[in-house]
């Protein structure tokens, strides 16, 4: 395995990657995630779900799907001595992940663990490690959350307990957790504010969220106040993944990210039907 450094994600980091600012340069977290997925793609056959591509891009989607566990992926891969060890430890809960059909297999609970078929591999996520229970909400989503049902979100020890479809799960806010008349929300990370604030400070969208200012950095010229204050989408990452010599070029954090397979003795290879992965160099 390579000896570069990976960022240790938090669950909220992965959630923020899933809805990152379009048009902005890739974050260090996104680069670390793509590096980990490139390394894993040597021995794990990641498959697309509902569009997209096989290979590295499917691995990125897998990590974003399970934030609590996916948050540890880069550091876990770095600590492993081989791709197979990384697959067992980081994806398979001690065993090599098994292939599965995401279109026919449904997520469920077993022994207080979430069993999910994601992007062609069957994974087990132990909720007990986080002090939570495996639960299913009224929409049929299975995840690690509180055993009891809920009616509204709340703040607990400064952390948001997010109530969605009758089930609650912890969520770490960037700013303070704020109680409102309709339930708790994540407040902005800035100074206190009142009323409606929607403005662009250069390329930064500024809003008042839960009584505190929230600032979102947009791509150049992409901050808009047409309907509130937000970052407009930019036409990036629509060409799909590709190989540039030994390097993988793919999309994460809604920006182009590059990871060189040569860093751990491999090279980039295209997958029939769409997608790229790292393979041992012949």
Residue in this structure with the two tokens 């000896």, named with its chain if needed: 3
- Which range has the worst mean pLDDT, 64-68, 140-144, 236-240, 265-269? 64-68
Kindly indicate the confidence band of residue 26, based on its pLDDT and cuts at 50, 70 and 90: confident
**pTM over cut 0.75:** no
Selection from 244, 241, 250, 237 nearest residue 275 by Cα: 241
Confidence check: pLDDT of 248 > 90: yes
Decide if 1 contacts 264 (C-beta within 8 A).
Answer: yes
Q: Kindly list the strands in the beta sheet with 113-118, ordered across the sheet, starting from the edge strand earlier in the chain.
A: 98-99, 121-126, 113-118, 108-110
Burial of 189 (0-12, 13-18, 19+ CB in 10 A): middle
pLDDT at 19: 41
* Over residues 66-95, mean pLDDT: 73
Tokens of 70: 């996916």
Tokens of 179: 């109680």
Is the Cα torsion angle 72, 135, 115, 111 positive or negative in sign?
Answer: positive
Q: Is the model more confident about 276 or about 13?
A: 276
């Amino acid at each position: 395995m390579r000896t570069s450094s990976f960022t240790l994600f938090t669950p909220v980091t992965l959630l923020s990657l899933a809805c990152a600012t379009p048009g902005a340069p890739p974050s260090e977290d996104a680069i670390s995630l793509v590096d980990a997925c490139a390394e894993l793609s040597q021995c794990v056959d990641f498959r697309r779900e509902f569009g997209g591509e096989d290979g590295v891009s499917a691995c990125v989607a897998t990590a974003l799907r399970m934030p609590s566990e996916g948050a540890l992926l880069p550091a876990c891969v770095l600590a492993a001595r081989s791709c197979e060890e990384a697959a067992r430890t980081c994806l398979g809960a001690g065993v090599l992940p098994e292939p599965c059909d995401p279109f026919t297999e449904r997520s469920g609970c077993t022994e207080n663990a979430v069993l999910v078929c994601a992007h062609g591999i069957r994974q087990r996520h132990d909720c007990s490690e986080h002090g939570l229970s495996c639960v299913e909400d009224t929409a049929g989503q299975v995840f690690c959350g509180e055993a009891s049902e809920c009616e509204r979100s709340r703040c607990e020890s400064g952390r948001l307990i997010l109530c969605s479809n009758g089930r609650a799960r912890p969520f770490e806010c960037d700013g303070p957790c704020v109680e409102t008349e309709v339930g708790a929300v994540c407040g902005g990370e800035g100074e206190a504010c009142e009323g409606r604030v929607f403005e662009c400070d250069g390329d930064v969208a500024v809003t008042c969220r839960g009584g505190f200012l929230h600032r979102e950095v947009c791509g150049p010229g992409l901050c808009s106040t047409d309907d509130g204050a937000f970052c407009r989408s930019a036409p990036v990452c629509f060409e799909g993944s590709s190989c540039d010599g030994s390097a993988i070029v793919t999309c994460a954090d809604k920006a182009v990210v590059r990871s060189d397979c040569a860093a751990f003795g491999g090279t980039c290879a295209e997958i029939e039907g769409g997608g790229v992965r790292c393979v041992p160099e012949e």
